[in-house]
Every structure is written in C-alpha cells, then in structure tokens.
Amino acid sequence: MAFSVLFLAFDKIFILVANRSADAEADKRLELLLNGEINKDLIIAGSSRGSRDIIASRIEEITGLSSYNLCYPGSNVEFHEFVLRTLLEFNKPPEIVLLVVDDDIEFLPNEKAIFRLDRLYPLVKYSYIRQELIDRGEKDRYLSRVFVLHNLNKANFDLREKKFSSLDTIMHCGSMPVSFQRKDKSWDFDPAERDYPLTLEEVSKVKAFKKILTYCSNNDIRLVILFPPNYKNFSKSFERRIRDLAGNKTFFYKYDCDNPVYTNKDFYYDQEHLISEGAFLFTEELTRYLTDSLLVTGKNYQ
C-alpha cells in the first residue's frame, strides 16, 4: 500500500514532463487548434504537397479571406480527418476547406504517409489528445487515467527546445515552402499513364475521406478538393476515383496541366513538391479560381 502511494506520488512528477513537451515544440499549430485560436475563413488540409505548394498568406492577400495552412508533411488522410475534426471541435467552422490529395497514393499503403502520432505525444497534457491515443489503440483507457507516465513516450523526454529545419520552416500562415531543390536523389519527369489500383485501397483511409466530406456538409463548409502539380503525368484514373467518392456537391480544382511551368524541373524540389517560386505561381493560379468562380457564384461544381 505504501509503495503504491509512493509510486502514484512519483508519477505526478511526469506532469512537468508533459507540460514541458508542449512548451518545447516548434510547430504550435495543433496546440493552437486545441486552444481555439485558429478561427479562419479558409483552411488548407493535406500532407507535404499542401504545405509546400500553397501559400496561405498569399490567398489571404488576394481574396481577403483569412487563411491558414494545416498541412503536415508525411501525414495521411486519416490524420487530415483528425486535424479537421479537431478544428471543428474547438474553433468556428471555416467557410472553405481546401483538401489537397496525393496523386495517386491518397488511399493506398504508403510508409511515408502515416498518422502523425509524433504530433500528438508532445500534447498529452490535453485530455482530447489522450482520448485520441486511446481511441486509436495506442494507450489503455484505465492506465491513461491513472498514470501520467503511461501517456508519454520516449520523445516526451527530449525536453530540448525544438527548432525548425531548413526543410520544415513554418510561416506565420502555416505554410512551409522550400527555396531549394533536393540533391540526394535523382528524379526525372515520369510520362507514364498509370491505372489506379482500386483493389489496394485501405478501408480506413477511404472511411476517413468520407468523414471529411460529412464534416464539411454538416457545417456548411465549401470543400474544394485540390489536385496539385507533380513532376509526372497526371493520373486521370485517380481523379475519377476521387470524384466518384466525393460526389457532385464537392468542388474540384486541378492544376493547369498545359502550363509549361509544371513540366519545368527548375520549379520543383523533387518529383512531388514545388519550390517556393512554383508554389507562388500555383497559389496565384488557385486564387484566380477561388476569386473568379467559387467566391463569385458559390455553385461552380467542376
């Protein structure tokens, strides 16, 4: 009995570790969501293509819509669903959500695109985050309520102040453009026409995508599904799959495949991501669509 009391008292020390983990983070976006501080007209959701290729502050400058980028490199659609759900739980619904999809791996197995648990663990001081870890089977419901230590992982014990890398530097608007090209990997334009492998889809990812559709419908949010540039031939079969799932009450925007910029290697970081010059051009192109079509009529399903 005495040992149990002593252990429980010792366990409470780890509250300090949990608090410090949150304070030490460089990327504060998820914590801002939890604190209800991302109340914007337009939100961008997605993975690294959204974070690199779209500059939220430029959209805001041109349209007058307050805009914020909540894209996370290395994340999958299940994480995007979590981000949007968290946004709606603690903040006012945006007018528009731009969902950037990954051609053509959005619903396919991919070890480079995951649910970013590493973004959750630094914020385990929040009950909402602890519950998400429980719901995802990462933590035990009972132990999570009793022991602080149970909620932590080894990353929580790195209490050093985190800093942005040259690749992942976040602007005040949440976007993360890069100004240089990748040099450690060879990449060339891929002209191949690819058939979308429907049978390889993961059910959990398709379900997450459908949840995003439901959130937007239930909250009167105009959802725009974006197909960003790639240094490869655009997958029409992937586009058809996305359109079939999304239905006719969703907006779609595909980059201008005829624009020679998007077949110019100088505008890319690698095969999947633009550098800042390319991101600026794509953002301008996207903003023209928002200004000329979506924001004018509100009913331009393409």
Query: Does residue 260 sit within a domain?
Result: yes
Predicted local confidence at residue 295, as pLDDT: 64
165: CATH: 3.40.50.1110
Predicted local confidence at residue 166, as pLDDT: 86
Q: How confident is the model at residue 132 (pLDDT cuts 50, 70, 90)?
A: very high
Cβ pair 112, 239 in contact under 8 A: no
176-192 pLDDT, tens digit per residue, is 999 999 888 888 888 88
Counting the structural domains of the chain, the total is 1
Q: How confident is the model at residue 16 (pLDDT cuts 50, 70, 90)?
A: confident
189-223 pLDDT, tens digit per residue, is 888 888 999 999 999 999 999 999 999 999 999 99
Query: Does residue 302 sit within a domain?
Result: no
- Using DSSP's 3-state secondary structure scheme, residue 193 falls into coil
Is 78 exposed, middle or buried, given 0-12, 13-18 or 19+ CB atoms closer than 10 A? buried
pTM of the model: 0.93
Choice between 79 and 192, residue whose per-residue pLDDT is larger: 79
Q: How confident is the model at residue 301 (pLDDT cuts 50, 70, 90)?
A: very low
Predicted local confidence at residue 61, as pLDDT: 96
Query: Does residue 269 sit within a domain?
Result: yes
Predicted local confidence at residue 9, as pLDDT: 52
142-164 pLDDT, tens digit per residue, is 888 878 878 888 888 888 999 99
Query: Does residue 173 sit within a domain?
Result: yes
For residues 63-88, average pLDDT: 98
Q: Is the pLDDT of residue 20 over 80?
A: yes
Q: Is the pLDDT of residue 1 over 80?
A: no
Q: Is the pLDDT of residue 280 over 90?
A: yes
Predicted local confidence at residue 153, as pLDDT: 87
Q: Is the pLDDT of residue 252 over 90?
A: yes
Write out the two tokens for 156: 């929580």
Query: Does residue 253 sit within a domain?
Result: yes
Return mean pLDDT, the chain.
91
For residues 132-144, average pLDDT: 92
Range of the domain at 212: 2-297
Predicted local confidence at residue 159, as pLDDT: 83
- Using DSSP's 3-state secondary structure scheme, residue 162 falls into coil
Q: Which of 58-62, 139-143, 160-164 has the highest mean pLDDT?
A: 58-62
User: Taking the CB of residue 187, how many other CB atoms lie within 10 A of it?
Assistant: 15
Q: Is the pLDDT of residue 28 over 90?
A: yes
Predicted local confidence at residue 172, as pLDDT: 97
Query: Does residue 227 sit within a domain?
Result: yes
Q: Is the pLDDT of residue 106 over 70?
A: yes
Predicted local confidence at residue 300, as pLDDT: 41
* CA-to-CA separations, 122 to 16, 97, 162, in angstroms, rounded: 12, 26, 11
Number of residues that this document lists for the chain: 302
State in Å, rounded, how far the first CA of the chain is from the last one: 67
For residues 50-79, average pLDDT: 97
Predicted local confidence at residue 154, as pLDDT: 87
Cβ pair 95, 213 in contact under 8 A: no
Query: Does residue 14 sit within a domain?
Result: yes
Query: Does residue 263 sit within a domain?
Result: yes
CA distance 299 to 224: 12
DSSP 8-class letter at 262 = G
For residues 73-79, average pLDDT: 98
Q: Which of 60-74, 87-101, 148-162, 243-257 shows the lowest per-residue confidence on average (mean pLDDT)?
A: 148-162
Q: Is the pLDDT of residue 13 over 80?
A: no
